[in-house]
Chains A and B, each alone.
Chain A
């Protein structure tokens, strides 16, 4: 993994998040949520700071980060695309929609386009099953998406 240089001010902000939770090791997951909100992802350098602040081993932090699917060690694209792969979306054709995104963007699930514009991921149910299949890009939700719509949707960005 490419190493990232964190600026002093960002590190201070991260330490402030740890302090907000009293540097309590039981609050690790809440701290990581805060850190991911701050950096967009959780590179090794961020995990090192968290481990030091909460007085736990780096391996412990890494173990927790990699256990939960919500945490990511890779940066997301400017417009993160998520395709809902919940069962309701699956039976209404989400796989075809995903294939079309993969084909047009030429990336696999979990990857980001070389220009950093889009990243592609799958998620398990946003709970808008009435709108299946569902795709979210950033905060925007697209409902009843078909493979033919994909090109037009990408064109909006």
Chain B
């Protein structure tokens, strides 16, 4: 980064690119050229800054001015004002919702204050398509240190000391896993990176691969040295084209620089990495299923033991870790296990990346120390609930996790606490819900997902989840009685106890946790035939109050199915047999005459 005086960093993550990020880059370059500044100032496409809600993000370096919601039309003004005249463009600075002041340095924004970035340390700082920028931030020096100064046993001890646990959801101690694979006897072993991020609403791994692909390659090589493997495979979703492209570029550059390939750093250690594509199957996040998929088979899980550490890919010992787990490895090697263990809680050390989404003001990617509370995450970092509505629940752990409520807000987040509350850490999806969300419908939504993604190998998961889904459907249609709730709980417990793999064992969690925490809502559906959140269409009717209706005809005109009839200036009426309950009339009525019952 030496020859330029300063840099303009533009977020090149999927979210910001979808909001015309590439046009912003092009317009900035044109504006710089028009002012003869292209030799002094460089425009860099970085990885995700995390603050997706306010994207596209543009950051000026070295003065660290952080511009939000930039449009391609703003590029010219940014160059003329900020770069040429040295004046900040006030209207594009972040507006603090509480103090109503413009904030120019991200360090002072509520969204960033409580974050500690280890796995995401390079995302938003470097150009992910340039290995030199990774090296300038200590890239590949952890690999050098391990190869030259440490024995595999030393390095494994360092990881064990750090207390790092698997970030894909299982939470198994990483150092221990490496040790098992090291001890397995075989002339050929494999390192696998699980980048098959399947949780709907989670984008942690994708952001790391898009923003800092070299950290994963470096960590895989370190793992290879530790366990005695010379081949690495990255299993990545085909739905992530940008991450795949950046990984390919990174692998090519790493080979050119000799940090992948034969005789790395002249130590005689060989290691290379290949990419394998997933094809859309949630169950492939499970390591045995993932391995079968890499072998070109249906991604069905098999019973453990044997664990992949003994018999994995092509029946050889295989170590599978998730993207975020790998991203933590290089800093741990450089700074020591104790440094990492000092962050977080005693049993859950370090940080965790979460994809904060749903009905929260600041949607984005965050990295926080373990032990932080849900309240801090949702209200301090997330900026509270959208539209000033009331917080109702937060779903963690994806389709395997559960819904937590306001009574859980002050519990420190770690693996054990989340399990004790009926949810789980999962890979890091965190979806916030407000008073308008019906929890029975949310449970049904997740079951929908599980039914579709069940591989069908074992009966409890294949048939049981289908039946659970049908029961939930009955409840949301108002066709179930109270006995249904008992049956629902019993079946959920049977599926949990008897399924073959993690997918089935955890799939009833969204049902059980919503039943535990929102029993009133289930009862309202079956006993009173009402959906308190007003989401279940079958349980609601739109009616026009004939005293309030003035006959303006507006509702009739917006109704997409012509269910509303009435003469001008006389009260209208809704034909409930035609009404599709879309709510368009309610939104348009200026007289408050339409209501849901």
Show the binding face of A for B, using Cβ within 8 Å: 25-30, 32-33, 63-64, 67-71, 85-92, 96, 99, 103, 123-132, 134, 141, 143, 147-148
Q: Is the CB of B201 within 8 A of A87?
A: yes
6 more A-B residue pairs beyond the given contacts A87-B200, A125-B203, with a C-beta to C-beta distance below 8 A: A29-B296, A70-B239, A88-B357, A92-B359, A127-B202, A143-B19
* Cβ of B122 under 8 Å from chain A: no
Contact between A29 and B279 (Cβ–Cβ < 8 Å)? yes
Q: List 5 A-B contacts (CB under 8 A).
A: A69-B281, A87-B201, A129-B357, A131-B19, A147-B582
When distances are taken between beta carbons in the complex, the residues of chain B under 8 Å from A28 are 296-297
Query: Once the chains bind, are A67 and B276 in contact (CB under 8 Å)?
Result: no
A127 to B199 CA separation, bound complex (whole angstroms)? 10
B55 contact from A71, A126, A130, Cβ within 8 A:
A130
Which 6 pairs show the lowest CB-CB distances between chains A and B? A130-B52, A127-B203, A68-B279, A88-B357, A28-B296, A86-B200
* CB <8 Å contact, A129 and B203: yes
Decide: A125 and B200 in contact? CB cutoff 8 A: yes
Complex contact A25–B296 (CB within 8 A): yes
Instruction: Report the stretch among B370-378, B429-437, B520-528 that lies at the interface.
Output: B429-437
Q: Is the CB of A91 within 8 A of B359?
A: yes
Contacts of B445 in A (CB 8 A): 87, 90
Known: A64-B296, A87-B358, A130-B52. A33 touches B560 (CB 8 A): no
Q: Identify A70's interface contact among B14, B280, B398, CB under 8 A.
A: B280
Minimum CB–CB distance for A121 against chain B, Å: 11
- Point out the residues of chain A lying under 8 angstroms from B202, CB to CB: 125, 127
Within 8 A of A (CB), among B408-437: 429, 431, 433, 437
Residue-wise interface mask of B (282-296) relative to A, using a CB-CB cutoff of 8 A (1 in contact, 0 not): 100000000001111
Residues of B within 8 A of A71 (CB): 279-280
Chain B, 78-122, CB within 8 A of any chain A CB: none
* Structural contact, A26 and B296, CB atoms closer than 8 A: yes
Q: Please give me the residue from chain A that is nearest to B293 by CB atom.
A: A29
Which chain A positions have C-beta within 8 A of B446? 87
Q: Does B518 lie at the interface of the complex (its beta carbon under 8 Å from any beta carbon of A)? A: no
Residues on B with beta carbons closer than 8 Å to the beta carbon of A32: 279
**Contacts from B to A (Cβ < 8 Å):** 14-15, 18-19, 52-53, 55, 198-203, 206-207, 238-240, 276-282, 293-299, 314, 355, 357-359, 363-364, 395, 398, 429, 431, 433, 437, 442, 445-446, 449, 452, 455, 560, 580, 582, 584
B167 CB to nearest chain A CB (Å)? 17
| A124–B200 touching, CB < 8 Å | yes
Complex contact B279–A70 (CB within 8 A)? yes
Cβ distance B322 to chain A, nearest Cβ, rounded Å: 16
Known: A99-B582, A123-B239. A69 touches B431 (CB 8 A): no
Is there contact, CB below 8 Å, between A70 and B298? Answer: no
CB closest chain-B residue, reference A61: B296
**Chain A residues near B53 (CB-CB < 8 A):** 130
**B14-A103 in contact (CB<8A):** no
> Which residue of chain B has the shortest Cβ distance to A84 in the bound complex?
B200
Minimal Cβ-Cβ distance residue in B for A93? B436
CB distance from A120 to the nearest CB of B (A): 16
Are B582 and A67 within 8 A (Cβ)? no
- CB-CB < 8 A to B199: which residues of A? 125
- A85: chain B residues at CB < 8 Å are 200
A residues in contact with B298, CB < 8 Å: 63-64, 67
In contact, A128 and B201 (Cβ under 8 angstroms): no
Q: Chain B contacts of A26 at CB under 8 A? A: 294-296, 314
- Distance A30 CA – B274 CA, assembled complex (angstroms): 12
* A117 to B: closest C-beta gap in Å: 21
Which residues of B have CB within 8 Å of A29? 276-277, 279, 293, 296
B358 to chain A, nearest CB (A): 5
Q: Is the CB of B296 within 8 A of A132?
A: no
Q: Which residue of B lies closest to A124 (CB)?
A: B200
- Could you tell me the distance between the alpha carbons of A127 and B13 in the complex, rounded to whole angstroms? 10
Residue of A nearest to B434 (CB): A91
Residues of B within 8 A of A127 (CB): 14-15, 202-203, 206-207, 240
Taking CB atoms, residues of chain A closer than 8 Å to B52 are 128-131
Minimum C-beta distance from A151 to chain B (A): 10
Indicate if the CB atoms of A88 and B363 lie closer than 8 Å.
yes
Contact (Cβ within 8 A) B18 A33:
no
Q: Which residue of B lies closest to A69 (CB)?
A: B280
Q: In the complex, how many angstroms separate the beta carbon of A71 from the nearest chain B beta carbon? A: 6
Beta-carbon contact of B239 and A126 below 8 Å: yes
Task: Tell me the nearest residue of chain A to B243, going by C-beta.
Answer: A127
Docked pose: A132 CA to B200 CA in angstroms: 12
Shortest CB-to-CB span from A137 to chain B, Å, is 12
Say how far B503's CB is from chain A's closest CB, in angstroms: 14
Report if A141-B18 is in contact (Cβ < 8 Å); known contacts: A123-B239, A147-B582: yes
Given A68, A92, A124, A143, which contacts B299 in the complex, CB threshold below 8 Å?
A: A68
A27-B296 contact given A87-B445, A131-B15, A143-B19, CB 8 Å threshold: yes
Beta-carbon contact of A30 and B355 below 8 Å: no
- In the complex with contacts A87-B445, A91-B433, A99-B582, A130-B363 CB distance below 8 A: yes
Q: A88-B358, A90-B445, A91-B437 are in contact. Are A33 and B277 (CB under 8 A)?
A: yes
A33-B238, A70-B279, A130-B15 known; A91+B431 contact, CB < 8 A: yes
> Closest CB-CB distance, B195 to chain A, in whole Å?
12
Distance, CA A86 to CA B282, complexed state (A): 13
Residues of A close to B431: CB separation below 8 A = 87-88, 91
**A123 vs B237: C-alpha distance when bound (angstroms):** 13
> Bound state CA distance, A130 and B203, in angstroms?
11
Q: How far is the CB of A132 from chain B (nearest CB, A)?
A: 7
Whether A132 contacts B238 by the Cβ 8 Å rule is no
Min CB–CB distance A38 → chain B (angstroms): 15
- Alpha-carbon gap, A64 to B442, bound state (A): 31
Cα of A124 to Cα of B357 in the assembled complex, Å: 14
> In the complex, which residues of chain B have a beta carbon less than 8 angstroms from the beta carbon of A128?
14-15, 18, 52, 203
Q: Which residues of B contact A125 (CB under 8 A)?
A: 199-203
The chain B residue with its CB closest to the CB of A130 is B52
Supposing A87-B357, A91-B433 touch, asked if A67 and B363 sit within 8 A by C-beta, the answer is no
Cα A90 to Cα B200 in complex, Å, equals 10
Q: Smallest Cβ distance from B532 to chain A, in angstroms?
A: 16
A152 to B280, CA, bound (A): 31
Q: A85: nearest residue on chain B (CB-CB)?
A: B200
Q: Are A87 and B429 in contact (CB under 8 A)?
A: yes
- Most chain A CB within 10 A, of B200, B282, B433, is at B200
